[in-house]
């Protein structure tokens, strides 16, 4: 994964994988989840991500790599199913799951989209796509389906309302919910400060 994501500057780099793996294993410790499946899925969860494969989104890098390593077919299929359920797909799209490994990885991945690191990653992604930081004339959009979410080109601040501030209430594990509370509050404080500076209210 280090070599696969070398030079990636959109916030989906190796260190994102490193943090998600660490969070996922920590959360899995208090869940009835298979640690091997959680760890392997955490390490591989972004190599087929549509955000990193706009020109080659066949969605088979994970499967092909696992098969090239002669991983058993049933484990390969399980890993691919876990990863398929991880990504946020729009404000109007439910991604709740009963799969314990997917719950753990989903929470870990979304926690890394929150708090101080989540804010940094959000602006890194927006910059990598040439998006404005903020445009008060463009309102956030609560995307009703995955297709509309993928086509979104709104300013980075809008992403807080379209995704980041929704994640706290979508956590599926007790540990995820506890960690999400503090990160959510930090994002609210950041937005308060951002708007104060934008409107020159703290000068």
Check residue 59 and give its pLDDT: 63
pLDDT in tens, 45-87: 988 887 776 555 566 889 998 999 999 999 999 999 999 999 9
CA dist., res. 167 & res. 178, Å (int)? 12
C-beta of residue 72 within 8 angstroms of C-beta of residue 51: no
C-beta of residue 133 within 8 angstroms of C-beta of residue 155: yes
Quickly tell me which residue has 């916030």 as its tokens.
11
Check residue 61 and give its pLDDT: 87
Domains in the chain, start-ordered, CATH in brackets?
A: 14-198 (1.10.3210.50)
Which CA distances in Å does 90 have to 15, 32, 68, 175, 185? Answer: 25, 28, 33, 23, 22
Low-confidence ranges of the chain (pLDDT < 50): none
Check residue 7 and give its pLDDT: 81
Closest CA to 105 of 3, 13, 34: 34
The reported pTM is 0.92
Check residue 170 and give its pLDDT: 96
């Amino acid at each position: 994964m280090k070599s696969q994501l070398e030079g990636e500057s959109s916030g989906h780099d190796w260190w994102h994988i490193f943090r998600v793996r660490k969070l996922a294993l920590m959360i899995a410790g208090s869940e009835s989840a298979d640690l091997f499946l959680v760890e392997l899925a955490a390490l591989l969860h972004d190599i087929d991500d549509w955000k990193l494969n706009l020109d080659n989104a066949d969605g088979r890098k994970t499967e092909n790599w696992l098969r090239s390593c002669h991983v058993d077919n049933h484990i390969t299929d399980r890993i691919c199913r876990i990863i398929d359920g991880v990504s946020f797909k729009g404000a109007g799209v439910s991604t709740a799951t009963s799969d314990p490994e997917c719950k753990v990885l989903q929470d870990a991945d979304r926690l890394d989209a929150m708090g101080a690191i989540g804010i940094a990653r959000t602006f890194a992604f927006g910059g990598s796509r040439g998006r404005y930081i903020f445009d008060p004339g463009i309102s956030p959009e609560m995307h009703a389906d995955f297709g509309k979410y993928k086509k979104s080109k709104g300013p980075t601040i809008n992403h807080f309302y379209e995704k980041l501030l929704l994640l706290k209430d979508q956590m599926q594990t007790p540990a995820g919910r506890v960690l999400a509370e503090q990160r959510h509050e930090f994002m609210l404080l950041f937005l308060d400060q951002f708007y104060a500076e934008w409107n020159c209210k703290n000068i």
